[in-house]
């Protein structure tokens, strides 16, 4: 707002994360001109919407533009008529939906920005969209007329656990951090989902009400979510569903095999788009090349949908309340807690006192070597530090203090020794336990060098 040159601001991020709300709140919904793209509507419909907004803001009659070139000509004429000493805030929301088939929207926008808008020192032009893949390909990574033109990029991320707690308290929802964490493992830090929670219902009642009640607000969210973000969404859904069944992740080639999709550029594009949209996480394998990286499903709602909603919807409107003691639910919580921890690496490092130490996170697994008497092992989070220390993180989700017994103690020792022998590392290895309520002190807990508990993940960044 204080700049003396034209600003092209790009705001993108996952659907429902609050991009439009953020922009509307900051500018108090007071824009010189604003248009919102309509999903799967014709060019004619979008141009009529453009004309309607122009008439509302300028209070004069305008013809319906015949094409986008005419529309931007009208926008320039309108902006030129305004006082030049005032900031002019133009907001194009859901821009990917304006770029309908054969509309020529994008090249005309490029022409408009380079020919005129970029020379207007009082102009702030905000473009926003949930179709993150389109925003990255056509705006932020544009190799044509918009190459390196944006002055600011904002990738809006979901709330952290701390921000989720603050948000719920603002709604007068005062749950335990254990319940908030489990809510996060279902919805993620997505404000739209969190805002649907009812303070008069318990946590489990809310989940039943939103997900399992007939025509609950989130029972059919999945279809809208993927179809509005990705063209050819069937293949995206196929990849996401495959990853939901392989919680430890898959390599690109494994995804190709399981999904029966050719391992070509199209698959690479699908994976890249899923990653950039926040639905999939790429985890590097310790000591391996980048091409061996593992892809894991990172979107909590998608994981919950495939595990529970897709096949259980309509069978029991109180399913979540009735599933409290089901082993499958405990298994889900344990696996999803690992994802939650990986989304809060900054908080983990702060607790370990290594926030200022350069580090790299990765995963590691081995099938072992029977000839050497080495059994298979897997480590879901490694923090390799510049000070030649590696934290081998064990993540356990439990309702009480986690108890190490003789069997688990031996498992940890074998894992430590297997990692050292198979990688040949000379660095110092430290076992870090990340649990909900800590590790109970007993004769087996001495080998744990550091601990992180759930409360530590609720710290502000």
Interaxial angle between packed helices 233-245 and 265-276, expressed in degrees from 0 to 180 and rounded to the nearest 10: 70
Q: Is 379 helix (H, G, I), strand (E, B) or coil?
A: strand
Which architecture does CATH list for 223-303?
A: Orthogonal Bundle (1.10)
Give the CA distances from residue 327 to residues 240, 332, 333, 380, in Å, rounded to whole numbers and listed in that order.
Answer: 24, 9, 10, 21
213 in Cβ contact with 219 (< 8 Å): yes
Query: Which neighbouring-strand residues pair with 453?
Result: 435
pTM for the complete prediction? 0.92
CATH domain 344-458 topology: Trna Endonuclease; Chain: A, domain 1 (3.40.1350)
CATH architecture of 7-155: 3-Layer(aba) Sandwich (3.40)
Q: Tell me: the pLDDT tens digits for 109-121?
A: 999 999 999 999 9
Closest alpha carbon to 186 in 203, 169, 163: 203
The pLDDT of residue 8: 95
What's the pLDDT band for 316 if we cut at 50, 70, 90? confident
Q: Tell me whether residue 304 is exposed, middle or buried, using C-beta atoms within 10 angstroms of its C-beta: 0 to 12, 13 to 18, 19 or more.
A: buried
Which of 87, 80, 83, 73 minimizes the C-alpha distance to 6? 87
The CATH 1.10.10.10 portion of the chain extends over 223-303
Residue pLDDT, tens place only, 166-201: 999 999 999 999 999 999 999 999 999 999 999 999
Q: Say how far apart CA 145 and CA 124 lie, in whole Å.
A: 18
Domain with CATH 3.40.1350.10 in the chain: 344-458
Positions of E strands within 275-336 = 280-283, 294-297
DSSP conformation letters of 339-353: HHHHTTHHHHHHHHT
For residue 227, the model assigns a pLDDT of 87
How many alpha carbons fall within 13 Å on the CB side of residue 276? Answer: 19
* Cβ–Cβ < 8 Å for 48, 98: no
CB-CB contact of 347 with 164 (8 Å): no
Residue ranges of the chain assigned to CATH 3.40.50.300:
7-155
| Measured distance CA(90)–CA(93) in Å, rounded | 10
Type and span of the H or E element at 11: strand 7-12
pLDDT at 49 over 70: yes
């Amino acid at each position: 707002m204080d700049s003396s040159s034209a600003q092209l601001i790009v705001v993108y991020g996952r659907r429902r994360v609050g991009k439009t709300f953020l922009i509307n709140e900051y500018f108090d919904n007071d824009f010189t001109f604003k248009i919102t793209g309509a999903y799967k509507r014709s060019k004619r419909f979008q141009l009529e919407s453009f004309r309607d907004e122009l008439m509302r803001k300028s209070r004069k009659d305008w013809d319906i533009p015949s094409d986008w070139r005419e529309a931007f000509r009208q926008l320039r004429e309108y902006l030129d008529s305004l006082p030049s000493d005032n900031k002019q805030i133009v907001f194009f929301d859901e821009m990917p939906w304006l770029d309908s088939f054969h509309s020529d929207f994008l090249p005309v926008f490029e022409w408009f920005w380079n020919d005129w808008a970029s020379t207007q020192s009082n102009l702030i032009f905000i473009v926003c969209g949930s179709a993150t893949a389109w925003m990255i390909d056509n705006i932020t990574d544009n190799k044509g007329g918009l190459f390196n033109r944006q002055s600011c990029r904002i990738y809006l991320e979901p709330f952290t656990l701390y921000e989720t707690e603050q948000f719920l308290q603002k709604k007068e929802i005062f749950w335990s951090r254990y319940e908030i964490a489990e809510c996060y493992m279902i919805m993620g830090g997505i404000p739209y989902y969190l805002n649907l929670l009812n303070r008069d219902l318990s946590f489990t009642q809310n989940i039943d009400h939103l997900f399992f009640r007939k025509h609950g607000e989130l029972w059919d969210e999945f279809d809208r979510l993927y179809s509005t973000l990705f063209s050819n969404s069937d293949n995206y859904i196929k990849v996401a569903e495959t990853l939901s069944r392989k919680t430890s992740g898959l390599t690109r080639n494994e995804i190709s095999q399981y999904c029966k999709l050719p391992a070509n550029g199209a698959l690479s594009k699908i994976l890249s788009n899923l990653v950039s949209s926040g639905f999939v996480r790429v985890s590097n394998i310790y000591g391996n090349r980048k091409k061996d990286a593992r892809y894991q499903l990172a979107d909590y709602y998608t994981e919950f949908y495939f595990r529970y909603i897709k096949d259980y919807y309509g069978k029991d409107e109180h399913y979540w309340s009735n599933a409290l003691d089901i082993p499958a639910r405990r298994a889900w919580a344990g696996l999803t807690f690992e994802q939650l921890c990986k989304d809060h690496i900054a908080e983990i490092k702060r607790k370990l006192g290594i926030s200022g130490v350069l580090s790299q996170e990765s995963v590691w697994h081995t099938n072992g070597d029977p000839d050497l008497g080495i059994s298979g092992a897997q480590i879901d989070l490694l923090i390799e530090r510049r000070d030649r220390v590696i934290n081998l993180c064990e993540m356990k989700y439990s309702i009480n203090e986690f108890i190490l017994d003789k069997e688990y103690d031996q498992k940890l020792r074998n894992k430590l020794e297997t990692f050292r022998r198979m990688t040949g590392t000379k660095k110092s290895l430290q076992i870090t336990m990340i649990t909900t309520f800590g590790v109970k002190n007993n004769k087996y807990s001495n080998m744990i060098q550091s601990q992180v508990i759930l409360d530590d993940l609720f710290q502000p960044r």
